[in-house]
Amino acid sequence: MMGAIEHVKTLSGDAEIPCYMARPQGEIGAAIIVIQEIFGVNNGIRAKCDHWASKGYLAIAPDLFWRINEGTDLDADVEAEFQQALDLMGKFNQDQGIRDIEAAIHFAQTAIGSHKVGCVGYCLGGRLAFMTACRTDIRASVGYYGVGIDGLLGEKHAIAHEVMLHIPTADGFVPADAQAAMHAGLDDHPKVTLHDYDGLDHGFAAEFGNRRNEAAATLADSRTEAFFKEHLA
């Protein structure tokens, strides 16, 4: 099952966001927005979409860098491409990115005829998944190794639906004090569940490449799958 690039109107309706879209065979009960890392909608993100489609979900990965570098497709294991990705992240307008994610949510709600839309994001996308939970009517949000969430805790009162965050304790991009702040701010939040992965680093659930840790990725992904099954039922 392979997806394809389709276009989704922006919230303002005056432009179109390129999205990788994977559609399941048969009836669609729910949809999942897959939120990219800083490496764009690359083969790993496309594989995640294909996986969700194989489970019966409409899966949509918006090309969030389309305004600055449409079609970004970078490899985390290639140093020059890693640097290019960091450069793009520096230019990326995150608030605009959330509006583009919201446009994809609206598209998905119309496509499936219900509000059963969730999101899952990785790295930068993990941060954006948390912001999406705070700023949109998304029904379930999952963030893997989201960066800078400790700086977003002022928005936590706006979380209306379930959130799950996967936190590797040895994340080079999320220091121990940031992780402690996340736990202090979110452990008692009725809608938020945090899972720690002891000794693991950023990117442990990447589909391909050197960052992946098979056991931890399998555990986190099984938790994510059960979470969506419950909250998008």
At 109-146, the pLDDT tens digits run 999 999 999 999 999 999 999 999 999 999 999 999 99
Counting every residue written for the chain, the total comes to 233
**Strand locations in the chain, DSSP E?**
4-9, 16-22, 30-35, 57-62, 117-122, 140-144, 162-168, 192-197
pLDDT per residue as tens digits for the range 100-110: 999 999 999 99
Confidence of residue 27 (pLDDT cuts 50, 70, 90): confident
What is the model's pLDDT at position 1?
58
Give dist(CA 125, CA 127) in Å, integer. Answer: 5
Give dist(CA 80, CA 22) in Å, integer. Answer: 30
Letter for the amino acid at 204?
F
Give dist(CA 221, CA 216) in Å, integer. Answer: 8
Average pLDDT over residues 187-215: 98
pLDDT per residue as tens digits for the range 29-40: 999 999 999 999
The number of angstroms, rounded, from the C-alpha of 37 to the middle of its chain's C-alpha atoms is 8
Looking at the DSSP bridge assignments, the partners of residue 122 are 144
Kindly report each contact of residues 134-137 with a partner whose C-beta sits within 8 Å and lies 24 or more positions away, as own/partner.
134/158, 134/159, 135/98, 135/102, 136/98, 136/101, 136/102, 136/105, 137/105, 137/161
Active site residue 161: no
Give dist(CA 196, CA 211) in Å, integer. Answer: 17
Secondary-structure class of domain 4-231 per CATH: alpha beta
Q: Phi and psi for 179 in degrees, rounded to 5?
A: -65, -40
Q: DSSP assignment, residue 149?
A: G
Tokens of 69: 């570098």
pLDDT per residue as tens digits for the range 41-62: 999 999 999 999 999 999 999 9
Report the chain's mean pLDDT, rounded to a whole number: 97
Among 165, 160, 110, 113, which residue's Cα sits nearest to residue 135?
Answer: 160
- Give the H or E element holding residue 2: none
* Residue 141: how many other CB atoms lie within 10 Å: 30
**Options 171, 177, 195, 201, the catalytic residue:** 171
Active site residue 221: no
- Whether the model clears a pTM of 0.75, i.e. scores above it, the answer is yes
Give dist(CA 150, CA 48) in Å, integer. Answer: 26
